[in-house]
A = this chain, B = another copy of it.
């Protein structure tokens, strides 16, 4: 018992294993992708899985998530947020495993992928074309993560974690469209994002085929203190 009695004995109870799993999202050429590792060993040998691993006794859950992420995939410097804890009996055939799942958002850029000796491969998958079967209950974990991501976009500045340092407003709109999976009106998007006063104009422009576009920077200061509600639909709610 956490409310234990005086003669508490830490070894009295059999203990489950605790892991952290990290669902990592990024944008690659404007498409939302998720990072998976291919398992080298039993169980689920050869299947793709969400990266993760056992926690150490002297690190917090979030530290464990960062460490595992780097060890298994080489990805660093991510935005991390706890998602949910999965603890069904039998979700891991080896032993009882409680898994604390995290969402990570990274800027595409040049994350240097690395394969650990636990895996045969590490790869970004577009969320629209995921492998058919995933190891463990990772299909559920992934679905849950996607749902949460979509829902949080509408009322947080999470999407900015996926963008490079400077970006155009229409690029930002494109991300929202990707993740929400619906078309947004250009004019309304401009209005809404300007009103929110979350962006800072830079002197930079980017040239393309038509009219050059202004580049903006995300105002870090507003990010945390001011909540950003970006709600075009009221019916997409994270259960």
Give A contacts to B, CB under 8 Å: 1-6, 8, 10, 13-19, 21, 37, 39-42, 49, 51-55, 57-61, 72, 82, 84-85, 87-89, 92, 94-100, 116-119, 135-136, 155-156, 227, 229, 231, 234-235, 237
Q: Please name 20 further chain A to chain B contacts, defined as beta carbons within 8 Å, in addition to the given A3-B39, A60-B87, A155-B234, sorted by A numbering.
A: A1-B54, A2-B49, A3-B37, A3-B40, A3-B49, A3-B51, A3-B52, A3-B119, A4-B94, A5-B40, A8-B41, A8-B94, A13-B17, A15-B15, A15-B18, A18-B18, A58-B89, A85-B85, A85-B100, A87-B100
Residue of B nearest to A10 (CB): B95
Number of copies: 2
Instruction: Please tell me if the beta carbons of B72 and A3 are within 8 angstroms of each other in the complex.
Output: yes
Instruction: Please tell me if the beta carbons of B227 and A5 are within 8 angstroms of each other in the complex.
Output: no
Kindly provide the distance from the CB of A216 to the nearest chain B CB, expressed in whole angstroms: 23
